[in-house]
A and B are shown apart, each in its own frame.
Chain A
Amino acid sequence: MELLRFATAGSVDDGKSTLIGRLLHDSKSIFEDQLEAVELSSERRGDGYVNLALLTDGLRAEREQGITIDVAYRYFATPRRKFIIADTPGHVQYTRNMVTGASTADLALVLVDARKGVLEQSRRHAFLATLLGIRHLVLCVNKMDLVDWSEEVFDSIAREFESFVARIDTAHEVEVTPIPVSALRGDNVVDPSPSLSWYAGPPLLEHLEKVDVHDHDPQQGRFPVQYVIRPMSDEHHDYRGYAGQVTGGTFRPGDDVVVLPSGQRTQLVAIDCLEGEIPEAFAPMSVTLRLADEIDVSRGDMIVPVGFEPEVTQELDAEVCWMIDKPLTAGSRYLIKHTTRTARASVIEVLHSHDVNTLEKYSAAGELGLNDIGRVRIKVSSPLAVDPYARNRITGSFILIDEGTNATAGAGLIRG
């Protein structure tokens, strides 16, 4: 069984909670006591219906205010796949939350109301998902029952959405799969609907079970060193292993490798895990590598195959999503965490920021405020081994940390 992580975006009005509730319910992932608790709370609040949003709104403040303030993670499984949903709120702090939820997702589900069509927020969700490197968008056109199951309405919404996505400036291809549903009635969510006989594609759940989201996984070997294992016990006196997670490609014993940023070359001798040596390691396995030569390798270095080196640089050109109140300005200094390396960074300039609704770029008056996204040039105190984000989402991303508060201030995606 494989794992699929997807992000959902949309507001309560679009029926997002109902759709998620439907997926969980029909896959038997909602438990009776949870449903009872939700029914009880709905009644107490006077909702007049079983408010499935209460399933995910776990905090007191969320239930009191009737809003979702944070990304909620939900889990369900079918016999074919296990799913992790990052459910992101539609309104409050949408950029910060959507970017967070999308950063670990391989697919995004954008929900629109068939009566309303593609709204500003649908465009915003499509833009953010695409910016975050998601290659598979599912456009769920919901409430089809309220437009008489009209094929024309569905087609026109699908065309408008697809043409918007095509205009997004991205280095990777994006596959859009439009699916008509009625979440409330359950039409075309798990089972095909007789009301949608003109629709030839699979129901939503079947698409989620079958879509291949690893078709563009990075092929070039990348191994950020996370932790050096040196037992220094009698039994393992000379053992020196470099532990980490493979973030691209495949490693095998005998591979000629180079350690970055130092550039020293050596050979991969063995790949260890608890059970013993293994013949190969591929992403996203967590393993321990042993090298032929005793060279200086520590946390923050990256082991890559000779001939497939990423760029080693102290200057980054990146899209940055800003997540704290204090704006990012030219000259401001932060800590930067890129793979397993933390260094100092200073902002050289803010080139422009994006209007996520119109896709227009405008000059940002030299700063990025909370929830802004813009293109920024950054100087780093020590060299980083980086790939463009479009090629590798791990070696192509970083966070900026405010040194005064230790807050995670921004998320960066490195341009090619």
Chain B
Amino acid sequence: MTLIDEAAKTTRPHRLTHLDALEAEAIFIMREVAAELERPVLLFSGGKDSIVLLRLAEKAFRPGKFPFPLLHVDTGHNFPEALEFRDRRVAELGERLIVASVQDDIDGGNVTEDKGPYASRNGLQTYTLLRALEEGGFNAAFGGARRDEEKARAKERVLSFRDDFGQWDPKNQRPELWSLYNGRIRKGESIRSFPISNWTEMDVWQYIAVEQLEVPSIYFAHHRKVFERQGMLLAVSDAVTMQDGEEPFEELVRYRTVGDMSCTGAVRSAATDIEAVITETAITRITERGATRADDRLSEASMEDRKREGYF
């Protein structure tokens, strides 16, 4: 029996599988936020976690429209495959997408782009995100972050309170009891909501398999020109400048996360379908972010610091 079959199997009558239970919880969270907060928005990047969020939103609100638009913070260094997929998926759903561009903020002089070979626009996203939230008058934002991703995220609430600067105060969080989420805020403050907090990378892939969701092609093995930097395989692209001694070569790779090209690493893989990806996920010995995100390697608390400033 495959890992997909195993995940989809119910053992006893009137018992849910773990995926069904996680799904029911996530749908509940989405409806709570939509009911209690006036202007939510859902962050959609074309990545696997936000793809799952879109399916959950369908489950929560169909046959109605989503009671919120979708928002993508485009760093200008996104994978073209992810952007193409993003637009196609939004069109299929018939929902509204807002694209907030980091490039606009660079051009407008709102933020200054890092120079040098290790420059990444990842940190600049926070400014653009907060600007987009303010311009849209959004007081709640759904994100696809999971607690298993990173140790600062393990302490994150399902409904995470942010002050009027968008900042997270990890030491002063509202306790979350039962499923009684407290979404009360004052004007200017906001809520970040993480409906798939309790999902793992494996759950996400199993759900994608069971629901037969399409994902961007870069999640599957493909040949790509890459170069190695600090043990990570970065794609050769306009987003990064290669250093002396860094040589491009072609490799069979796939991506475990879809982020900014300047800081998202590929993994060597021959997995060409979901089943193979799940098998690989089951035996991998490296975490998703550890294997693929340069931004989290900066320091022990880099995610916590970025989150405090308003990052997701």
Contacts and interface: CB of A to CB of B under 8 A. Distances in A.
Interface in B185-204: 185-186, 197-198, 200, 202-203
B127 to A, nearest CB: 23
A103 interface: yes
A80 B165 CA distance: 45
B177 A408 contact: yes
Nearest to A231: B64
Nearest to A280: B14
B286 A1 contact: no
Contact of A75 (B19, B171, B198): B198
Interface string A327-339: 0000000010110
A302 interface: no
Contacts of A282: 14
Given A70-B155, A274-B62, A335 B184 contact: yes
Given A1-B17, A250-B14, A411-B177, A32 B171 contact: no
A2 interface: yes
Contacts of A75: 147-148, 198, 200
The B contact surface, by secondary structure, is: loop
B35 A340 contact: yes
B224 to A, nearest CB: 23
B177 A397 contact: yes
Interface stretch (B25-33, B37-45, B134-142, B247-255): B25-33
A307 B24 CA distance: 27
A146 interface: no
Interface string A261-276: 0000000000001100
A406 B186 contact: yes
Contacts of B203: 82
Given A70-B155, A399-B182, A407-B174, A274 B9 contact: no
A394 B154 contact: no
B23 interface: yes
Nearest to A55: B151
Contact of B31 (A3, A59, A61, A226): A226
B20 A285 contact: yes
B69 interface: no
Given A31-B290, A74-B154, A82-B18, A398 B300 contact: no
A266 B14 CA distance: 25
B111 interface: no
Interface in B29-86: 31-32, 34-35, 58-65
Nearest to B151: A58
B179 interface: yes
A140 B150 CA distance: 29
Interface residues of B, number: 66
Nearest to B153: A58
A88 B172 CA distance: 16
Contacts of A69: 171
Interface string B105-149: 000000000000000000000000000000000000000000110
Counting chain B CB atoms within 10 Å of each CB, the highest count among A56, A226, A394 belongs to A226
Contacts of B310: none
Contacts of B60: 227, 243, 286
Contacts of B175: 96-97, 99-100, 323, 408, 411
A152 interface: no
Nearest to A77: B202
Contacts of B62: 229, 274
A268 to B, nearest CB: 18
A337 B180 contact: yes
A23 to B, nearest CB: 15
A399 B186 contact: no
B64 A229 contact: yes
B192 to A, nearest CB: 15
B299 to A, nearest CB: 10
18 contacts: A33-B290, A58-B153, A58-B155, A61-B170, A73-B154, A75-B200, A96-B175, A100-B177, A229-B64, A231-B65, A233-B63, A233-B65, A245-B24, A274-B58, A284-B25, A286-B24, A394-B178, A407-B174
7 shortest interchain CB distances as A-B pairs? A58-B151, A33-B290, A286-B27, A3-B18, A231-B64, A82-B18, A406-B184
Given A3-B21, A97-B175, A241-B63, 19 more contacts: A2-B11, A3-B18, A33-B290, A56-B151, A70-B171, A72-B154, A73-B154, A104-B179, A214-B15, A226-B28, A227-B31, A229-B63, A230-B64, A235-B63, A239-B63, A399-B180, A401-B182, A406-B182, A408-B175
